[in-house]
Amino acid sequence: MPFVKRSFWIEKPVKAFVFIIRQFNYSQAEAQRLISKGRLLINDQSFFEKGGMIQGAVEVVLFEPQSREIKPIFTTKDFVLYDKPSGVLVHPNTMATEYSMLDEIRTHSGDQANATHRIDMETSGLLLASRHKKSEQYLKSSFEMKRIQKEYLAWVDGKIDFPFCVTESIKVRDNYDDSKHKVEIHKQGKSSKTEFTPLLYDEKLDVTLLQCKPLTGRTHQIRIHLFHVKHPILGDPLYGTDFATASAYLEGTLRDEERYIQTGATRLLLHAHRLQFPYRCRYDLFSKVDFVKMKSEICAKELRRFNV
């Protein structure tokens, strides 16, 4: 478990954020953020008053990374690049999260290092992490300003012969009573655009390998756009499954065998394959994973049960 409690005794009253700054050599913003997250404890209760006075016994919950030996595939003095496995979070969801890519990032590059963009837990592939605060600010801004181009690969159900583009607007759902989809196609949603190009078709499995280029950065954009055109990504437990299957997945009760049949694969077959961006020079970086071989994770056509 990367989150650990450390105990301290404070002799004289001091403001909470000042104690954190002095004890850990944090900036004021970092100290206040730690307190806001409830990681300063008094009598086992979170203390949220940043300017409040504290004295005596206190505990601080710290993130101490525990590596599982996932090494970066590319390193500079400013950033590192990882091939994230499917099923691994980028950041811990809670203090009970046992492992995330942040463990690897901080183990390799220190406490100031951080992931600079989101990848769904189920999605594999390229994860770009900064090694210091200046590069973090620049890279996060680059993603927001669309200066970084992303390219994905996906194995999808059915045959696709020609390139196509989906421009349907996407809206985050506010009710999950009749669907477990996190987002939906909706006229009142945010404008979205994804370009798709077929690369390979397997007739026996009736599946197509697609190159996917999201030109906007909406939540689950590639997943919902492909579901909308009735070519769901194989292994997707939310888009392309029935309500009961999606619920079981979210509740952690979906059996591996049932997922294999209901979603068409052992895992979500979406992979962040390529990143292009400027950082002093122009970088064009590729994943080292042979995603074509992920075809071995696909369920036979006659056994798959999609809900599209």
Residues with a known catalytic role: 120
Both tokens assigned to 124: 């594999």
Q: Which residue has the tokens 């583009």?
A: 165
- CA 238 vs. chain centroid, Å, equals 16
CA distances from 148 to 128, 142, 215 (A): 11, 6, 10
Backbone angles phi, psi at 107, to 5 degrees: -60, -45
* Amino acid at position 169, single letter: S
- How many Å apart are CA 63 and CA 89, to the nearest integer? 15
Helix/strand/coil for 140: helix
Rounded Cα gap, residues 24 and 110, in angstroms: 14
Tokens 């992303």, located at residue: 150
What phi and psi, each to the nearest 5 degrees, are found at residue 136? -60, -45
